[in-house]
Structure 1
Amino acid sequence: MVAGLETVLGTEQYWALMLSLSVIPALTQYLVLPFCPESPRYLLINQGEESKAEAALLRLRGSSDKVFSELEEMKEEAAHSQSGVTIHQFFKKRRYKQPIIIVLIINLGSQLSGFNAIINYSTRMFQAKFDQAKYLTLGVGAVNVIFTLVAFFLMEKAGRRRLLLTGFISIAVCNLLMTIVDSVLHLVPELRSLQVLLVFCLISAYELGPGPISWFIAAELFDQPGRPIAMAFTSMLNWGGKFVLALLFPPLLKLCGEYIYLFFMAVALAAFSFTWIRLPETKGRTFDDIAEEFRGAEGIPLHNNIGFNTFT
């Protein structure tokens, strides 16, 4: 966003140079990736290389304190896992049914709750009300980065479920207030600053929970054979949701005006309700533990004595 300012590279003369800057992080990743350790789960469960998996864990954790227990948990998962899952099997297996629905709702809920409309059209939205709209858009990017970092530190303390619930309900409230403010803005122009504040609050709520968690929750709900397809499914839902919203937002805004935020509010409330009822907390739990609760939710007898308390 900074490079896109007219005072930096956002000009007719330098726009191509600005776009070419994206090669820097891509090249950095390409050069660094060969030195990164392989996934321990992949080494143990898919390749059967226990010693290599242990070495990778030691390198990642930096200490042997947690390696043994984590390795044992992987062995337990491997004992209940198949060698591989096809796409057809992935969508047909009963044990994947609930995780698939959860991933679907959380990802579409996060993408269709208003965040991407603001990110894609923030400059155009602000231009109608402020002279220096581009700097407000820069503020949108700054808030985005800051609260992503805040979520990084809160993730293990607060838990995924709590952050998702807090994020979705906060997004719904922000959308409702934005509808009200936009409706009376022509009567009370002084409320423009409040509208900007609500935009920043919505972005903060998104990045505290739905934004980052929607990308990795599938990795904690699926076993190793189903995890690669689940992550690809997550990516498809995320980018598909972004594409649909970017395509439909301009005509919907023209049709609904300020009431477009009520649609986003409804999506956020639906995602909140579903998360409250159906999403288990995954923080600090093994896949087998989570899978047991899914079996209990479907009325399938549990193979141990763990009680079913996920959705309370």
Structure 2
Amino acid sequence: MAGINGRLVFAIVSSTCWSAFQHGYNTGVLNAPQEVMSEWLQKDALTGTNLTIPATKDPKVTTVWSVAVSIYCVGGMIGGVITGLVADRLGRKGGLMWNNVLVFLGAGLQGFSKMANSSEMLIVGRLFIGVNNGLNAGLAPMYLAEISPVSLRGSIGTVYQLVITMTILLSQVLGLETVLGTPSGWPWLFAVTAIPAVVQLCTLPLCPESPKYLLLNKGAELHAQRALNWLRGDVAVHGEMEEMHQEAEKNKVSKKVTLRELFANGQLRQPLIMAIVVMIAQQLSGINAVMFFSTYIFTQANLNEMQSQYATLGMGGMNVVMTVISLLLVEIAGRKTLLLVGFMGMFICTVGLCVASTYTEYYPWVSFLCIGLVILFVVTFAVGPGSIPWFLVTELFNQSARPAASSVAVTVNWTANFIVSLSFLPLFTILKANVFIVFAVFQVIFILFIWKKIPETKNKTVEEITAMFRQQL
């Protein structure tokens, strides 16, 4: 049986680690330096601002800042929409390589925006990096799924989310006032993203294209076998080649699946609904709300600003640790089990936060209970809901449908992210801690859906998984 080896690890690092770096790092990079960047916008980049009030309360500054934050999600949605097209035209590896052009554009525009005193450069740079991250979120898990042995597909698929959690933490550390979160240092926070892009352009050409893409999309059998031999090392690849040949024969009948067919064909519509729901579930689980609410909870517990920052870093560190544990458990416990355990744990924490937060004014010790619930929430999110949706989508579809399905799923994920980021603050202003009731309701719906509908894909080939859907029709 094929297992892990040096070349496979090199391909995973070269393809996914540097792509996921962009996704995680750019998700968290604006959080820590918000105050110093808002002051720059108020005093230098924008005209007509009110210098008598704090920059973070200036309406013009907050509007531009909101656009800079939300345009990133819009870019992600655009990247998601074109994922299928890029994956088919340029290949998985080729798409990841060309995608770095957007990194250089985004890093350059954001890095030089202070020098040019241009908020427009910052916003357009965020848009470019958003498109890059949307493409990465589709292409990297797809490449991983197609180069991984069946027995390791879940663990290797979890690597994408693991690197996201690590680089969110890195962006928070670099954004501290003692590092680069300063008036002169923040442009370097954005410029640094060019480094992993350069590394990827140096290492990824040494790795082969996805063997499945070469055989099933290009019909290049010899190149596909060479690629598989490279990835598997000394392990014989005849069995895997035979499986790919069988899938290729079926693809000759079905041809490439279009978006219209994806929704019209009952055999494809069923897994597509599953893919869409798990992507929505990841975003509507309340993780972004809890991360935001944590600052409020830390304040209630009388932590000062510096202590709050380090507490936030501690949460990020816990997220990384639990994602590593998820990577180890996913091939033992299975995808469905970890999703259910994760969402059930999040539901308990959400209800606990909703109840406990009403008593923080009367009992100071309850604030520390809330801190514990926030950390536990992050732990249960990392166990399954954080990582599994990214690669589960690639497991539910065969080669002909995978690009289109990934495109839809990634677009839905970024759209849900966009909606949550826009709606949470107004909801929080109106409902305060009761906003968690909304997320608790969603969590119950997702638990029931996963329990009733999501199949276990652990140790199953793509053909076995698609056969399950055919039998259910």
Please, what TM-score do these two structures have when normalized by structure 2? Answer: 0.60
Work out whether 1:13 is the aligned partner of 2:174: no
Paired position in structure 2 for 1:90: 262
After TM superposition, give the deviation of residue 250 of structure 1 in Å.
0.6
After TM superposition, give the deviation of residue 278 of structure 1 in Å.
0.7
SS of residue in 2 equivalent to 1:33: helix
Does the 8 Å contact 1:120/1:246 carry over to 2?
no
Does the 8 Å contact 1:46/1:83 carry over to 2?
no
After TM superposition, give the deviation of residue 288 of structure 1 in Å.
2.0
Alignment equivalent of 2:243, drawn from 40, 59, 73: 73
1:242-270: per-residue Cα shift (whole Å, max 9, x none)? 11111111111111111111211111221
Paired position in structure 2 for 1:161: 336
SS of residue in 2 equivalent to 1:280: coil
Work out whether 1:22 is the aligned partner of 2:197: no
Alignment equivalent of 1:221, drawn from 354, 372, 396: 396
Paired position in structure 1 for 2:129: none
Does the 8 Å contact 2:294/2:374 carry over to 1?
no
Does the 8 Å contact 1:110/1:268 carry over to 2?
no
SS of residue in 1 equivalent to 2:256: coil
Structure 1 Cα separation of the partners of residues 374 and 234 of structure 2? 43
Paired position in structure 2 for 1:119: 291
Alignment equivalent of 2:218, drawn from 35, 39, 47: 47
SS of residue in 1 equivalent to 2:387: helix
Structure 2 Cα separation of the partners of residues 226 and 216 of structure 1? 15
Change (3 A) 1:184 1:120: closer
Residue 282 of structure 2 aligns with an amino acid whose one-letter code is S
Alignment equivalent of 1:247, drawn from 399, 422, 431: 422
Paired position in structure 1 for 2:459: 284
SS of residue in 2 equivalent to 1:224: coil
Paired position in structure 1 for 2:445: 270
After TM superposition, give the deviation of residue 285 of structure 1 in Å.
0.7
Alignment equivalent of 1:107, drawn from 267, 271, 279: 279
Structure 1 Cα separation of the partners of residues 291 and 215 of structure 2? 41
Structure 1 Cα separation of the partners of residues 452 and 197 of structure 2? 40
Paired position in structure 1 for 2:229: 58
The percentage of counterpart residues that share the same residue type is 37
SS of residue in 1 equivalent to 2:174: coil
Residue 277 of structure 2 aligns with an amino acid whose one-letter code is I
Tell me the matched-pair count.
Answer: 297
Does the 8 Å contact 2:393/2:405 carry over to 1?
yes
After TM superposition, give the deviation of residue 121 of structure 1 in Å.
5.5
Structure 2 Cα separation of the partners of residues 148 and 88 of structure 1? 35
CA RMSD of superposed structures (Å): 1.6
Paired position in structure 1 for 2:385: 210
After TM superposition, give the deviation of residue 147 of structure 1 in Å.
1.5
After TM superposition, give the deviation of residue 120 of structure 1 in Å.
4.9
After TM superposition, give the deviation of residue 170 of structure 1 in Å.
1.0
After TM superposition, give the deviation of residue 202 of structure 1 in Å.
1.2
Paired position in structure 2 for 1:33: 204
After TM superposition, give the deviation of residue 124 of structure 1 in Å.
5.1
After TM superposition, give the deviation of residue 27 of structure 1 in Å.
2.4
Residue 92 of structure 1 aligns with an amino acid whose one-letter code is A
1:22-79: per-residue Cα shift (whole Å, max 9, x none)? 22222222322222211111111112222222221222222324x2222222222222
Structure 1 Cα separation of the partners of residues 247 and 297 of structure 2? 49
Residue 22 of structure 1 aligns with an amino acid whose one-letter code is T
Change (3 A) 1:235 1:85: same
After TM superposition, give the deviation of residue 176 of structure 1 in Å.
0.9
Structure 1 Cα separation of the partners of residues 274 and 441 of structure 2? 18
Alignment equivalent of 1:3, drawn from 174, 190, 214: 174
SS of residue in 2 equivalent to 1:127: helix
